[in-house]
Amino acid sequence: MSGQTSRVFVQRDYTLGTMVQFDTKFPSELNGHINESTFRATVDRVNEMFEEAEALDQAAYMEGCLACLTLCTYYAWPCVQTKYEKAMDSLGSYINSQNATVYGPCGLKLVHPMERGLRTLEIIITRS
C-alpha cells in the first residue's frame, strides 16, 4: 500500500426520505481508477441491499411481535440474528467481494457504510 491515501465520500441521497440509499453520481476523484458504470452498478446494488434489509415483510413483523411478547425471546435475542443483521452481513460479504475482485486491483477500497454510521459510502484511494 502506498504511503499516501485519499478518501472519497459518496453522500446519502435523501430524495426518497430517510431510507438508507447513496447517491449514484460518479465522483470525479475516481476518474482514472474505475469506470462510471462499474461504480454505479456497485452503488445500485448497495442501495438494493439496504432496501431489502429495511423492507417491512412478514419476517420483520414476526421478529417484532416475538420480541415484544415473549420473555424467552428477550433473553435469547443476543443469540438470534435479525433480518437486518443478516442483510448487513450479506452487504459486508458483497463489499469484501467487490474489494477483492473489482476495487482492490484498481487501488481502491470500499468501506462498509455501517463503519461510517450509515452517513456515507467511503472509498479509499490507496494509489494514484
pLDDT tens by residue, 67-92: 776 665 556 556 677 788 899 999 99
Whole-number Å distance between alpha carbons of 67 and 95: 30
Q: How far, CA to CA in Å, does 106 sit from each of 70, 87, 88, 116?
A: 50, 27, 25, 22
Model pTM?
A: 0.83
Residue whose C-alpha is closest to residue 123's, from 41, 22, 6 = 6
pLDDT tens by residue, 15-47: 988 999 999 999 999 999 999 999 999 999 999
